[in-house]
Amino acid sequence: MRYLMMQKAGGAEPDARLYADMAAFVEELTASGVLLATGGLDPAGFKMTSVGDEITVTDGPFTEAKEAIAGFALIEVRSREEAIELGRRFRTIVGDGESMIHQVYGP
């Protein structure tokens, strides 16, 4: 089953050690076939609202910096517990903060 893990911004400033640890973690997940896609997000973004036929586009940012989603990873695992374990390992690498994890419905 697939899970989308979204990381909120904030936490410690990244240093060289964090980059190395993250690279090793990503490499390990890729090698074991778990990581399908990953990416960072522009914290600002823009918003689209529809009312009737009218579409409004508003430029961001909208939330406090530490509430914004800063990055995502799409993983394919065998169970919810596996997703939790990988999330735990990710959090121990990046330090204090918050992740949102949603199961992706589908195949």
| Residues in contact with another protein by the rule CB under 8 A | 30-34, 36-37, 74, 76, 78-79, 81-82, 84-85, 88-89, 92, 106-107
Q: Closest approach of Cβ 53 to another protein, in Å?
A: 26
Would you call the peptide bond into 61 cis, given omega within 30 degrees of 0 as the criterion?
yes
Judge whether 14 and 20 are in contact, CB under 8 Å.
no
Q: Closest approach of Cβ 85 to another protein, in Å?
A: 5
Sheet architecture: strand order including 69-76: 35-40, 69-76, 2-8, 99-104
In this complex, which beta carbon is closest to another protein, that of residue 41 or of residue 91? 91
Judge whether 76 and 4 are in contact, CB under 8 Å.
no
Q: Closest approach of Cβ 25 to another protein, in Å?
A: 10
The two structure tokens encoding residue 85: 């374990």
In this complex, which beta carbon is closest to another protein, that of residue 53 or of residue 96? 96
In this complex, which beta carbon is closest to another protein, that of residue 31 or of residue 55? 31
Q: Closest approach of Cβ 107 to another protein, in Å?
A: 4
Signed CA dihedral, 45, 50, 53, 56: sign only? negative
